[in-house]
Amino acid sequence: MDRTGERLGKRGKRKNRPPDRKICAVIPIRRDAGTDTDCYRRVMATLSERLTDNVAGRYYTDSTCIDCDQCRVIAPEIFERNADTGMSYVKKQPITDAEVALAEEAMAACSTESIGNDGQ
């Protein structure tokens, strides 16, 4: 056994475990259209995948929505479900500070990071 209590094989190596490997850090970056960033963590919805159901404005949802209902629970006056596609979309852009806070909370809570804010 080694000092961690793990059993060692005949040659003093760990049994039934892959060799230690270097772990590369994943740096969160914004995914831009036309770039290959599959190896990076997505941090926000992609403008090029924006759903057509969204009303014009800075907040939107994209095609990666999985219909988890999270955004509609947090901000039902801002997000709505499209029954045909099964995806959420922005039905009304937030105007007041309270509505903006709810939209930001929904964006932060989105497990698939399908809600975007293009800053306009």
Is position 70 within any domain? yes
HEC assignment per residue over 82-100? ECCCCEEEECCCCCCHHHH
Q: According to the model, what pLDDT value does residue 118 have?
A: 85
Q: According to the model, what pLDDT value does residue 119 have?
A: 72
Tell me which amino acid residue 36 is.
D
- The answer to whether 87 and 81 have CB atoms below 8 angstroms apart is yes
Residue burial 12-29, b: 16+ Cβ < 10 Å; e: rest:
eeeeeeeeeeeeeeeeee
Is position 81 within any domain? yes
Is position 20 within any domain? no
Is position 5 within any domain? no
81 DSSP 8-state letter? E
Total count of domains within the chain: 1
Is position 31 within any domain? no
Is position 1 within any domain? no
Q: According to the model, what pLDDT value does residue 62 have?
A: 94
Domain interval for residue 94: 47-117
The CATH number linked to 68 is 3.30.70.20
Residue ranges with strand state E in 31-114:
59-61, 79-82, 87-90
Is position 58 within any domain? yes
Is position 6 within any domain? no
- Averaged over successive runs of 10 residues, the pLDDT of the chain (120 residues) comes to 58 53 40 48 76 95 94 97 95 97 95 87
